[in-house]
Chain A
């Protein structure tokens, strides 16, 4: 069974701090994703990576960056946290190819609060 592990379930950070959210998957998936989930807005894609050292902006990349130095790990970085980045962050991974048919496998999420 695919396991996607997010390093923290809950985080509380102060405005202006640099924040790292870590995600590790154990199934050798090429594609990895970071989403944020907010009430009434559903899931919005922040960044994704289709292979090591490859990244592509999603729909709401402003204020975020990512790092994919190893295949199993995809990190989301908030360069200077702001209160409007308080949210649930979900990491996901997927096998590449298959014409888009392969499903996403999600971690349990990190609930970040910025005060």
Chain B
């Protein structure tokens, strides 16, 4: 079945540091890949997406590249801010009949940025 694996554990780093969160996936067919972010007390919101191999999604200084050969979609940001403290989820979506596509989510990574 389809699944998403994110690196274990929270990530704590200092302001202006480089952030990487690893995401690998297993899927049949050609999935679309997403990163969602959840700020404290809120629901998830889309951060970026990529719909085919070698696509790069980007938003708010975050980037992720769809790597089919390594089945990965790692999230990166060159210089984090305190306001980037949140939980980040990697997800994939595959085609389904009648438009009933499902998303599979990773377990999420808590990111804490210290001033």
Task: Using CB atoms and an 8 Å cutoff, list the residues of chain A in contact with chain B.
Answer: 4, 30-31, 33, 35, 40-43, 45, 48, 50-51, 54, 56, 58, 90, 92, 94, 96-97, 99-101, 103-109
Contact = CB atoms under 8 A, between A and B. Distances in A.
> Which DSSP category, helix, strand, loop or mixed, fits chain A's interface?
strand
B46 A108 contact: no
B49 interface: yes
Interface residues of B, number: 27
Contacts of B94: 100
Contacts of B31: 100
B43 A100 contact: no
B44 interface: yes
Given A42-B108, A100-B31, A100-B93, A108 B98 contact: no
Nearest to B43: A106
26 contacts: A41-B107, A42-B106, A42-B107, A43-B105, A45-B103, A48-B102, A50-B99, A56-B100, A90-B43, A90-B44, A94-B101, A96-B99, A97-B99, A99-B32, A99-B51, A100-B96, A101-B49, A101-B51, A103-B34, A103-B49, A104-B36, A104-B44, A106-B45, A107-B43, A108-B43, A109-B42
